[in-house]
Chains A and B, each alone.
Chain A
């Protein structure tokens, strides 16, 4: 409280000043100082709602994860048994492997496409970029349910992919891609690539505007080719954007419930199950609320670890 009353708006900009120096002039100049309670009133609605409907439910999930519960009868304490199961059960492990595989499609490929695209485009002055950005951002706006429906038709027996294959004389390979044990995960993954590639390209292009054109000119004077330029200028200087793209896309890959639900539902068999689908199945049909909760906790822990690591990467930028 005391600190609040004394540090006026003038002092706000230099919190590192020694307390004595700050106290005297601030106390003299600021007769009335808004007490913390006013600030807390402004924060109250946001913090209360967020606590009630986000934080407490998340903690409640942690609590539920310690029980065996079918959602109806009395829960029985299970200790860490559910967590043991999360790491031992082959179906749950499959979900983890699929989520990891999806990261390649949701993160690695789009970032690669975005970087290469940005490098090819950035060297040249562009007109009409507003329109290009509008189109490239479109997949960010369309609800993923609709994206899933569109792509089911792209991959269908008579869909675009097979049409192209037949035109190219590869009709043998034509099949219902999302129904194939071998191809479904890859097919779903490429939908993710479609969703986020445009975002990555636009993000990187806006980053390249920050890079001084002189650097490129100088490197070209020194005879650097496009590949060299890409590896030693574009990629290092875009590090903050790459870290941001990574955190957005990795979270999208790990929380890919919407897309999987509308395209394959986890099938055929379990070949495309991801944590979100299993949590949904186990908690709202499978009668294993505790296990679903444990899985949700592990998923959250992984997301937190990734976000924290990437945040550190962003901050380290020179």
Chain B
């Protein structure tokens, strides 16, 4: 701030007035952002356009649809079974998200506020999971879960997803709890509160943003998980919406408007949740990445 426009550096040139580069930048910034946004949006347009075309219409690309044929959505929902697929995904998310947030909070609480031998080692052990790809767990998961009758059930998938979400959640809640003032915990302890009471009576009520962010991230990851449901659930009645979509596209000659409508149905819940909690989601992805 101290370097003003009349500073000594000026003699060397360029700094005086907004030079040509400066002006270009001032116009350039919105142009760059507009280009980025257009690039994001354009691929969605053929999808949205195709979803409202009359049944049987071939692909039309960027042209405006002829009319507004919402019966594709009814067809995808009922005939192609995406209504029940969606329900299946909702059930799985309703089990995975709260349980994951709960267990991750417990773990993060212990890691952030308690001293015990091996704490750093347990934390490092959990963090390792952030780099374990699904590819390396899915083969035995399939054979082992099948052996105990947990393939083709939602429960098997739910357990596997909760487990896969633990490393990030424990990490996230640990860094959240360690930012909370220790005086809060100490005061509660002096009042004779148990560690359980401290967590649920003192810390959690003051953790709404962190918990919401974790919940939103978990929901998006759970909804979008593809490889696990594809392999662990072969029964079409138990499948998730994205896995169902994967199978649906693989079938013979799928009607373009019908497939488009089905895709919109599968995308809609997760996009709505995102739009509603966008700040939480973006903060979660950025903070989660940077703190790691």
Q: Contacts A9-B182, A46-B166, A198-B36 hold; do A214 and B3 have CB atoms under 8 A apart? A: yes
CB-CB nearest in chain B for A164: B62
In the complex, per-residue mask of A245-258: 1 if CB is within 8 Å of any chain B CB, else 0: 00010010011011
CB-CB nearest in chain A for B115: A7
Is A109 part of the binding interface, using a Cβ–Cβ cutoff of 8 Å?
no
Is A49 part of the binding interface, using a Cβ–Cβ cutoff of 8 Å?
yes
CB-CB nearest in chain B for A255: B133
Is A135 part of the binding interface, using a Cβ–Cβ cutoff of 8 Å?
yes
Contact of B245 with A58 in the complex, beta carbons under 8 Å: no
Distance, CA A216 to CA B50, complexed state (A): 47
Nearest Cβ in chain B — how far from A244, in angstroms?
A: 5
Interface residues of A in 159-173 (CB under 8 A from B): 159-160, 162-163
Contact of A258 with B231 in the complex, beta carbons under 8 Å: no
Interface residues of B in 183-233 (CB under 8 A from A): 185-186, 195, 220, 223-224, 226-227, 230-231
Is A28 part of the binding interface, using a Cβ–Cβ cutoff of 8 Å?
no
Interface residues of B in 20-52 (CB under 8 A from A): 21, 25-26, 28-29, 32-33, 36-37, 39-47, 50
Is B60 part of the binding interface, using a Cβ–Cβ cutoff of 8 Å?
yes
Contact of B122 with A43 in the complex, beta carbons under 8 Å: yes
Q: Number of residues in B with C-beta < 8 Å to the partner? A: 109
Most buried by B among A150, A159, A280: A150
Contact of A150 with B249 in the complex, beta carbons under 8 Å: no
Main secondary structure of the interface of B (DSSP, over half): helix
A140 — which chain B residues lie within 8 A by C-beta?
281, 285
Distance, CA A222 to CA B7, complexed state (A): 10
In the complex, per-residue mask of A139-181: 1 if CB is within 8 Å of any chain B CB, else 0: 1111111101111011011111011000000000000000000
Contact of A53 with B32 in the complex, beta carbons under 8 Å: no
Is A136 part of the binding interface, using a Cβ–Cβ cutoff of 8 Å?
yes
A61 — which chain B residues lie within 8 A by C-beta?
136-137, 139-140
Contact of B21 with A225 in the complex, beta carbons under 8 Å: yes
Nearest Cβ in chain A — how far from B83, in angstroms?
A: 17
Pick from B33, B106, B230: contact of A42, CB under 8 Å: B106
A143 — which chain B residues lie within 8 A by C-beta?
223-224, 226, 242, 245, 266-267, 270
Contact of A54 with B163 in the complex, beta carbons under 8 Å: yes
15 contacts between A and B (CB under 8 A): A4-B116, A34-B114, A43-B111, A53-B163, A143-B267, A149-B259, A151-B43, A153-B46, A153-B47, A158-B60, A218-B9, A223-B12, A257-B135, A297-B136, A303-B131
Is B76 part of the binding interface, using a Cβ–Cβ cutoff of 8 Å?
no
Contact of A158 with B28 in the complex, beta carbons under 8 Å: no
Nearest Cβ in chain B — how far from A174, in angstroms?
A: 11
Segment among A83-91, A100-108, A116-124 that sits at the interface with chain B: A116-124
Pick from A53, A214, A255, A297: contact of B141, CB under 8 Å: A53
Is A24 part of the binding interface, using a Cβ–Cβ cutoff of 8 Å?
no
Pick from A7, A220, A251: contact of B131, CB under 8 Å: A251
Q: Contacts A53-B160, A143-B242, A153-B47 hold; do A133 and B107 have CB atoms under 8 A apart? A: no
Contact of B289 with A198 in the complex, beta carbons under 8 Å: no
Contact of B44 with A150 in the complex, beta carbons under 8 Å: yes
Is A77 part of the binding interface, using a Cβ–Cβ cutoff of 8 Å?
no
Contact of B266 with A145 in the complex, beta carbons under 8 Å: yes
In the complex, per-residue mask of B129-160: 1 if CB is within 8 Å of any chain A CB, else 0: 11111111111111110000000000000011
Contact of A46 with B285 in the complex, beta carbons under 8 Å: no
Is B110 part of the binding interface, using a Cβ–Cβ cutoff of 8 Å?
yes
Contact of B286 with A206 in the complex, beta carbons under 8 Å: yes
Main secondary structure of the interface of A (DSSP, over half): helix
Q: Contacts A46-B169, A149-B259 hold; do A53 and B135 have CB atoms under 8 A apart? A: no
Is A300 part of the binding interface, using a Cβ–Cβ cutoff of 8 Å?
yes
Interface residues of A in 208-227 (CB under 8 A from B): 214, 217-218, 220-223, 225-226
Most buried by B among A148, A149, A283: A149
Contact of A4 with B163 in the complex, beta carbons under 8 Å: no
Distance, CA A214 to CA B271, complexed state (A): 39
Most buried by B among A47, A133, A146, A276: A146
Is B236 part of the binding interface, using a Cβ–Cβ cutoff of 8 Å?
no
Contact of A299 with B106 in the complex, beta carbons under 8 Å: no
Distance, CA A82 to CA B89, complexed state (A): 37
Is A273 part of the binding interface, using a Cβ–Cβ cutoff of 8 Å?
no
Distance, CA A261 to CA B229, complexed state (A): 14
Is A203 part of the binding interface, using a Cβ–Cβ cutoff of 8 Å?
yes
Q: A220-B15, A279-B139 are in contact. List 14 more A-B contacts (CB 8 A).
A: A38-B195, A42-B109, A46-B166, A47-B107, A61-B140, A137-B278, A149-B259, A150-B263, A158-B61, A159-B61, A197-B36, A202-B282, A214-B3, A300-B131
Is A293 part of the binding interface, using a Cβ–Cβ cutoff of 8 Å?
yes
Contact of A142 with B137 in the complex, beta carbons under 8 Å: no
Interface residues of B in 252-292 (CB under 8 A from A): 256, 259, 263, 266-267, 270-271, 274-275, 278, 281-282, 285-286, 289-290, 292
Nearest Cβ in chain A — how far from B282, in angstroms?
A: 5
B111 — which chain A residues lie within 8 A by C-beta?
43
Pick from A159, A206, A258: contact of B227, CB under 8 Å: A258
